[in-house]
Amino acid sequence: MDDTQGIRVSKLLAERGLCSRREADGYIERGLVFVDGRRVSQLGTRAAPDAVITLAPEARATQARQATILLHKPIGYVSGQAEDGHQPAASLVTAKTQVAGDRQRFQLAHMKGLAPAGRLDIDSTGLLVLTQDGRVARQLIGDDSKVEKEYLVRVEGALDMPSLALLNHGLELDGKKLRPAKVAWANSDQLSFVLTEGRKRQIRRMCELVGLRVTGLKRVRIGRVRLGDLPLGQWRFLREGEVF
């Protein structure tokens, strides 16, 4: 195929959920990617949209070793890099804070390239996913991600039915309409929010638009994975067979 035609192999790999684009470039440079049975090792290589693309066993073995960690983030920690004197949530991932009974043992190698797959505000708590696996990151925070995130939100203020309907669908932030949400009362002072997007401080800003003030926010589920009884400030590995 002409070098100017087709789609970059790294993009195709990412779109098919085989790895992230960054990982794809690394695999291509190491000669671990095959297009229609032919090994490719040149960055920028393009292929037909329907090309058969596979990873070498060495690449799949590397992926199998990549860790995904579930952390119960406390208030006061930022999701990503340290900022304004606040520690990143990843600093809580140590051998001492691993939940008792986790089958896999923590190793320092699990920290290499470990990054949050989504944000959780400094003043929010609950389930935060940190991963070395680009496939997981894309699934949870890719532009086309539809994975649900569920939150319990404690609020102050009056909420009538029209405003509740607006929370479910009809609001916009920064001039862009929000995707439909599932918002309902969980109990007398907590709302349940189920979202498929993650704009910055989205829930707090949504609530402000209908006259509510958030006094507590906890993420309890991402896809099919629940926070469950994971203690605050502790973490565990994503278990074999557990998928978002």
List, by residue number, the catalytic residues: 121
Cβ–Cβ < 8 Å for 219, 129 = no
Q: What is the spatial distance between Cα 152 and Cα 57, in angstroms, rounded to a whole number? A: 42
Report whether 190 contacts 155 (CB < 8 A): yes
Helix (H, G, I), strand (E, B) or coil at 64: helix
The closest of 221, 166, 155 to 191, measured between CA atoms, is: 155
Query: Are the C-beta atoms of residues 159 and 166 closer than 8 Å to each other?
Result: no
Helices (H), the chain: 9-15, 21-29, 57-64, 134-141, 161-168, 202-209
CA-based nearest residue to 128, from 114, 113, 108: 114
Residue 26 burial (10 A CB sphere; 0-12, 13-18, 19+): middle
